[in-house]
């Protein structure tokens, strides 16, 4: 009987050594969670019959350390939760390893090539249905300019121009000229010039408009009227239409002068901003700390194409392990609760970082030495019993 008990002890220690060895081997694996072998007595009725490893406990709740990578598509969950992905068989798996990239088909995938699940703009944002995150990797079309915001100070120290008839080729007929960028429907860039002319009428400035160095438009001419404190009176917007040429839509612009002043001192310009842009090619993707997946394009534009979904569980320690860093849900773990990073129970994200292994090498080495002593002790029992059996056989 003692031979079988000692043998069960050696078998149980071998299983413990497998867990310890796996922990030590994965001390440098991102997102790895250590396991512990739990021993239990084997009973035959009311009689002890040895020992066994009754279960393996995963230390999922303890987070690993933060590892800086500097890569824009790496992310670590600071707190509870798992990244969610779906494999080719449609199985939803959960991981703490936030290594992402765009595959050849334009889908966001994790380090194992599984499609990352999240809330896409086409799916209704974070309040919509979860699904694969698709990244537009092609060309984005041009957007024509529709609005220009111009804010500055038109100096009240200006003199009425000596040349009373405005002529854009004669700088003595205007006080100031400013240019703004305008895009047409095909993304061609144009230059709109604004010529500011102080009027003989008190606190009044007229604005003439021209495109691409051509002759100014006959109409409209904007009259900016200021009060005695230099503040712009009502009617701060100017609308105008420009024909960029055959095959292109008319450019309909609204110029907003709200905030422009007319006080003494130097003429300044604090805002000269237009919307619209030329077409652009996909150049990359990055993650934001709120979980947004941002596609970037060569025309310096970017757009949010999705938001990562974080899953939390009532009992995350009961998840079924499918690999060293991946798990699937089961009845014991409970159903996952999905949310955006930092919402509800889900931890926030730290981008440009990864979660390291939570293995404590010192504790594992101490456990390894303890297992070695236990192994030797059980071996001694087997050796002693063997010697006793030999002595008994020789005595017979």
Instruction: Starting at the earlier edge strand, list the strands of the sheet with 237-242.
Output: 237-242, 251-256, 147-153, 268-274
Cβ atoms of 130 and 117 closer than 8 Å: yes
Which pLDDT value is given to residue 59? Answer: 87
In total, the chain counts a number of residues equal to 396
Average pLDDT, consecutive stretches of 10 residues, N- to C-terminus, the chain (396 residues): 67 81 90 85 69 78 91 94 94 95 91 92 57 88 95 95 93 95 94 96 94 91 93 88 92 94 94 94 91 92 92 92 92 93 92 94 84 74 72 70
Distance between CA 67 and CA 285 in Å, rounded? 21
Q: Ramachandran region of residue 42, left (φ > 0), alpha (ψ -120 to 50) or beta? A: beta
Helix (H, G, I), strand (E, B) or coil at 382: helix
Burial class (CB in 10 A: 0-12, 13-18, 19+), 362: exposed
Residue 184 burial (CB count, 10 A): 22
Burial (CB < 10 A; 0-12, 13-18, 19+), residue 219, is exposed
Partner residues linked to 308 by β-bridges: 118
Domains along the chain with CATH numbers? 2-61+358-395 (no CATH), 66-140+282-355 (no CATH), 147-274 (2.60.98.20)
CA pair distance 395, 383, nearest whole angstrom: 18
Alpha-carbon gap, residue 389 to 396, rounded angstroms:
11
Q: What is the pLDDT of residue 376?
A: 76
Report angle CA 175, 180, 185 to the nearest 5 degrees: 145
What pLDDT does 122 receive? 47
Angstrom CA distances, 315 to 58, 75, 195, 248, 333, stand at 12, 23, 69, 60, 5
244 contacts: CB under 8 Å, gap ≥ 6: 184, 185, 188, 190, 211, 250, 251
């Amino acid at each position: 009987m003692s031979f079988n008990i000692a043998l069960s002890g050696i078998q149980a220690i071998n299983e413990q050594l497998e867990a310890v060895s796996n922990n030590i081997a994965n001390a440098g694996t991102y997102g790895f969670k250590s396991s512990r072998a739990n021993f239990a007595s084997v009973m035959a009725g009311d009689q002890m019959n040895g020992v066994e490893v009754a279960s393996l406990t995963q230390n999922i709740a303890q987070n690993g350390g933060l590892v800086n990578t500097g890569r824009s598509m790496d992310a670590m969950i600071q707190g509870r939760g798992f990244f969610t992905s779906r494999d080719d068989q449609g199985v939803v798996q959960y991981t703490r390893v936030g290594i992402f990239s765009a595959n050849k088909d334009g889908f966001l995938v994790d380090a194992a090539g599984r499609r990352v699940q999240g809330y896409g703009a086409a799916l209704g944002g974070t309040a919509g249905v979860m699904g694969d995150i698709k990244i537009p990797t092609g060309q984005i079309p041009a957007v024509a300019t529709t609005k220009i915001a111009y804010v500055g100070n038109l100096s009240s120290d200006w003199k009425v121009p000596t040349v009373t008839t405005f002529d854009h080729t004669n700088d003595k007929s205007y006080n100031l000229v400013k240019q703004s960028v305008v895009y047409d429907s095909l993304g061609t860039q144009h230059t709109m010039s604004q010529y500011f002319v102080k009027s003989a009428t008190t606190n009044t400035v007229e604005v003439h408009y021209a495109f691409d160095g051509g002759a100014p438009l006959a109409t409209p001419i904007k009259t900016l009227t200021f009060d005695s404190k230099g503040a712009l009176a009502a009617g701060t917007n100017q609308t105008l239409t420009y024909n960029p040429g055959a095959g292109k839509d008319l450019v309909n612009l609204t110029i907003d002068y709200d905030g422009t002043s007319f006080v003494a001192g130097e003429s300044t310009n604090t805002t000269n901003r237009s919307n619209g842009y030329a077409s652009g090619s996909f150049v990359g993707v990055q993650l934001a700390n709120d979980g947004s997946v941002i596609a970037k394009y060569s025309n310096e534009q970017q757009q949010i194409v999705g938001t990562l979904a974080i899953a939390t569980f009532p009992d995350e320690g009961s998840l079924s392990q499918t690999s060293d860093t991946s798990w699937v849900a089961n009845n014991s773990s409970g159903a996952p609760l999905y949310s955006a990073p930092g919402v509800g129970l889900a931890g926030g994200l730290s981008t440009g970082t990864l979660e390291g292994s939570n293995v404590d090498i010192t504790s594992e080495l101490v456990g390894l030495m303890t297992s070695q002593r236990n192994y030797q002790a059980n071996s001694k029992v087997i050796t002693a019993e063997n010697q006793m059996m030999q002595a008994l056989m020789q005595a017979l």
